Each structure stands twice: as C-alpha cells, then as structure tokens.
C-alpha cells in the first residue's frame, strides 16, 4: 500500500519524506487555507519534496474552466495530479486530462457507483472518503470493499485512494481489503509506528544496557 500525506504543511511533508515511507501528497482548498500560504507556491514546494503524485485541486465547477485551471496547475511540475470533484463536469474533465496523459484524482467519492464512473472516465485515482462516510451513519470500509470488488471484476486500472482517514484502524482495514493508497494526516502516519510493547521493550533494553556501563560511540 502507498502512503500519501494529506496536508499542505511543508515541515510535516519534509519530515515524512525523509523517512522514505512517503509515496505522495494530497492537498485541497481547505488544507491550503489552513496553511495560510499562496496556493501555487505551496504546491511547487511540495512537488520538489516528493517524487510521487501531488494532488492539486481545481476550484471551478464547469468543465471549460476546470480545464483552464488544470492547464495552469499541471505546469507546476511533472508530478502534479489534477484533483477534480465527482460531478459530471469533473468526470468530463477527468476523461479529457487523462487522454492527454495527465494524472487525475477524482475526489469526494461516497458510493461504489460513483467510483465506477470515475474508473470509466479513466481516473488515475478515486478518493472515497471513509471518515465522512462513517460520520453520516454509513460503513466507510464497506464502501472500499465494494469498490475493490467492482474494480477487480473489470480489471480497472484506477487506484483506490482511501481518504478522510481518521485513525490507524482505517489504515489497517484498507490494507486488508486491498486498497492501493491511503492518504492521511501526518499525525495518523506517525501513530502507525506506536505500540505500548515496543516502547516498553526499548525502555527495558536501555535499562539493561545502562547497567553494563558500556558505550558504542567512543
């Protein structure tokens, strides 16, 4: 499974990229607003930090304007992935852009039927929002299972990019189902390494080592 950071905070992205575990980044208008910085500048910096796809979202709602915005965004760097909403105009834009060789992330997916449409439009990624799905009384993981089944039935190349991840269990379940990508806040990525027994083991090893009075660095 690929790990994407869902953030526009440069410091967090740089720290995670240094681990070698980061495969890409997703942003959206809300994350850019939270950063308080210029959209184009932030996107350019992120693209320089990671080799993988960096999702940059259009804000227009009609196809012609989406295409104009996408044309500007994809000139930022070769690894820009244009993010479009799951609407008729968004799917039309997706079809046009992927036909030109541009990566496209179709976002705000909340049903398997929507995911089917995204795949038929040639999306590089589809982003089902599991956390928001759960918030509204539905089972986010069941949505991922349905999409995985449908994509496998027809050998669609579109990758399932699980979004709106709230906690490590979402990551675990997505991996068990066979989702291709999990995009999550940096705090969730960091939490994946934590386990009380790991911490306890390190504490015990260090205590025993201290008793030897030795040092590795001379």
Residue 183 confidence class, pLDDT cut points 50, 70, 90: very high
Q: How would you write the chain as a 3-class SS string?
A: CEEEEECCCHHHHHHHHCCCCCCEEECCHHHHHHHCCCHHHHHHHHHHHCCCCEEEECCCCCHHHHHHHHHHHCCCCCCEEEEEECCHHHHHHHHHHHHCCCCEEEEEECCHHHHHHHHHCCCCEEEEEHHHHHHCCCCHHHHHHHHHHHHHHHCCCCEEEEECCCCHHHHHHHHHHCCCEEEECHHHHHHCCCCHHHHHHHHHHHHHHHHHCCCCCC
Count of alpha carbons within 13 Å of 54, Cβ hemisphere only?
A: 25
182 DSSP β-pair partners: 3, 162
Bigger pLDDT: 35 or 3? 3
pTM over 0.85: yes
Average pLDDT rounded to a whole number, residues 132-147: 93
pLDDT in tens, 8-37: 999 999 999 999 999 999 998 889 888 889
Catalytic residue set: 83
pLDDT for 6 beyond 90: yes
pLDDT in tens, 40-91: 999 999 999 999 999 999 999 999 999 999 999 999 999 999 999 999 999 9
Which of 44-53, 133-142, 191-200 is the least confident region? 133-142
CA dihedral 119, 122, 127, 133 (to 10 degrees): -30
pLDDT for 134 beyond 90: no
pLDDT in tens, 100-126: 999 999 999 999 999 999 999 999 999
Domains of the chain, each with CATH number or no CATH: 2-212 (3.20.20.70)
Backbone angles phi, psi at 107, to 5 degrees: -110, 170
Question: Considering the chain, what is the average pLDDT of its residues?
Answer: 96
Q: What percent of the chain has pLDDT over 90?
A: 92
């Amino acid at each position: 499974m690929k790990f994407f950071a869902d953030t526009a905070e440069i410091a967090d992205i740089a720290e995670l990229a240094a681990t070698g575990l980061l495969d890409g980044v997703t942003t959206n208008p809300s994350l850019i607003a939270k950063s308080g910085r210029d959209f184009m500048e932030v996107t350019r910096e992120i693209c320089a930090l990671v080799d993988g796809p960096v999702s940059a979202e259009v804000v227009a709602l009609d196809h012609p304007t989406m295409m104009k915005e996408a044309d500007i965004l994809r000139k930022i760097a070769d690894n820009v992935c244009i993010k479009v909403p799951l609407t008729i105009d968004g799917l039309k834009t997706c079809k046009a852009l992927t036909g030109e060789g541009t990566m496209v992330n179709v976002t705000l997916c909340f049903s398997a039927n929507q995911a089917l449409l995204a795949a038929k439009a040639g999306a590089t990624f589809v982003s089902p929002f599991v956390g928001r799905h759960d918030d509204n009384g539905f089972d986010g993981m069941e949505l991922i299972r349905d999409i995985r089944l449908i994509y496998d039935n027809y050998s669609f190349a579109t990758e399932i990019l699980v979004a709106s991840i709230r906690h490590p269990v979402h990551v675990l379940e997505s991996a068990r189902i066979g989702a291709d990508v999990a995009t999550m806040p940096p705090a969730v990525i960091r939490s994946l390494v934590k386990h009380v027994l790991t911490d306890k083991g390190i504490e015990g090893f260090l205590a025993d080592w201290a008793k030897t009075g030795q040092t590795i660095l001379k």
